[in-house]
Every structure is written in C-alpha cells, then in structure tokens.
Chain A
C-alpha cells in the first residue's frame, strides 16, 4: 500500500537555526498538509497546500514557517529561525479528492 514518507525521523537543532523537514506524499495525491503535536497536546493543523500554493494556514504558521513543493514528489516544511517552543512531532499528510488524509510517521524535532 502506498504511504507518506517523512525524513528525518528525528532532527536535533540549535535554537535560532533553520530546519527543513521533508515529506514524500503519495504519488497521485493533490492535497498536502502539515500538522504538529507538541508533547502531551493534541495534533494541530499548520498548513494546507494545493495547486502549488497555500490554501489555508493556522495562527501557528507565522512568517518563520514556509512550505514548498520543489519538484513533483517532495513537500517540505521550513522553519527559518527555530525556537524552543517549536519542539514537537511534525506530521505530513496527503490525500486525493475524496479520500481521508494519509499521514506519515512524523519527524520529531528537538530544539536545544
């Protein structure tokens, strides 16, 4: 069964550094998402992406965050200058038109 893959599984970064989280969505999917889960809290929507542009972003997704689909297969989340509170599990998801969202296994981001 096709799946969403995320790399790396764990990223440790110094505060203030830039980090890029990578995702390969399922190949025929058209809609892409990033969510995050801070330890002990609920999974929260960050951003959705369709037709090469952001379709919606949450209040969390400020100017420090950006997303890109640089080629036909990758979907990336960049945090420009990381803060301690960015430490969380970040999940990528994708879906086709009438399907539920399929999630990757996440990247654990630890900011020191």
Chain B
C-alpha cells in the first residue's frame, strides 16, 4: 500500500540554503495535499496544503508545488533554518466526509548551522 511515497528518508542542508522535499502519489483522483512537520516526542503539526486546482501555494518561507501530470509534489523551504530540522510528512486527504489522511513515510530534514 504505497499510495503516497517519499523516496528520500533523509536530507541534509546548510542553514540559509533551500530545502526541497519530494513526494509522489499514485492515485490521480487525489485532490488535496498537505505537509506536516514532526519533532521528536510531538505529534505532527500542519504546515501547508494545496488543492489540485492550484499548482503552487506559498506561506512565508514555505512553498508547495503540485505537478498533477507527474503526480508529484514538493515542499521548498527558503531559507532553511536549524529550527526546521524535523521529519516532514506528505499526506493526502482522502475519503469524502471522513477526510482521513494517508501519509507518506516521511523525510528527516537536518539543517546544519
């Protein structure tokens, strides 16, 4: 059951540079995508989302890009800061009124000072 895939388990970036986290999905019917950030011993925290009617959504240092034809989305963090070091989960909203989340496996981002 690999409906949402994050192929990079980890990523290391220098402070101030861009972090790019990638996510692929298999079902072309998916139409709402989210990124969550998770620190150790805490629950996932909502970061940013995008609907399939858009190809880009921006919130401060965070931008999510959606390529529907490739079934691919990415999260850009510019500039990266040490406090951004966390696990980032891509998720898809699925199930009509239920709106359950289907998560990817996560990417551990380490931002080096």
Which residues of A are in contact with B by a Cβ distance under 8 Å? 4, 6, 31, 33, 35, 41-45, 48, 50, 55-56, 91, 93, 95, 100-106
B95–A91 touching, CB < 8 Å: no
Among B34, B45, B101, B106, the one with the most A-chain Cβ atoms within 10 Å of its Cβ is B101
Task: Flag whether B44 is at the interface (Cβ < 8 A).
Answer: yes
Complex: how many Å from CA A55 to CA B104?
Answer: 23
**Residue with the highest number of chain A CB atoms closer than 10 Å, among B34, B46, B99, B106:** B99
Give Cα A77 to B48, complex, Å.
28
Residues on A with beta carbons closer than 8 Å to the beta carbon of B41: 105
CB-nearest residue of chain B to A56: B98
Q: Is the CB of B43 within 8 A of A4?
A: yes
